[in-house]
Amino acid sequence: MSYITISHWTADEWNDEMEAVARDKFQPMVMSMGASGVQFVRTGALTMSVVTHYADEAAATAAQAKIAAIRAQAAGELPIKMDSSVGGTVFTSA
């Protein structure tokens, strides 16, 4: 079964440069940690969620220490903070 993590973030400000950094720097970094897909989703004026897909829970677990480092780096480089993170096994998908 595939596995997904979702992290929720709040920004102090929002601009095109932040989106470019997420797209050009952090998205490839997450993918290089074994993710099979990742989406950065703007959920409000100053909020976003990062939805990361893995082949299975073992792949997600193996990536978590490196993903934590990426999250810390993002919070250090951008005016954002992570509010929460959840993950789980996908039991149905279309």
Residue 1's SS3 state is coil
Percent with pLDDT over 70 in the chain: 100
DSSP of 35-76: -SEEEEEE-SSSEEEEEEEESSHHHHHHHHHHHHHHHHHHHH
CATH number of 3-89: 3.30.70.100
Would you say 4 and 88 are in contact if contact means Cβ atoms under 8 Å apart? yes
Average pLDDT of the chain? 96
- The pLDDT of residue 18 is 93
Distance CA 39, CA 51 (A): 5
Percent with pLDDT over 90 in the chain: 98
Which residue matches tokens 């250090």?
A: 76
- The pLDDT of residue 88 is 98
Determine which helix (DSSP H) or strand (DSSP E) holds 33, and give its type and residue range: none
Domain ranges of the chain: 3-89
Q: For the segment 42-82, what is each residue's pLDDT rounded down to a tens digit?
A: 999 999 999 999 999 999 999 999 999 999 999 999 999 99
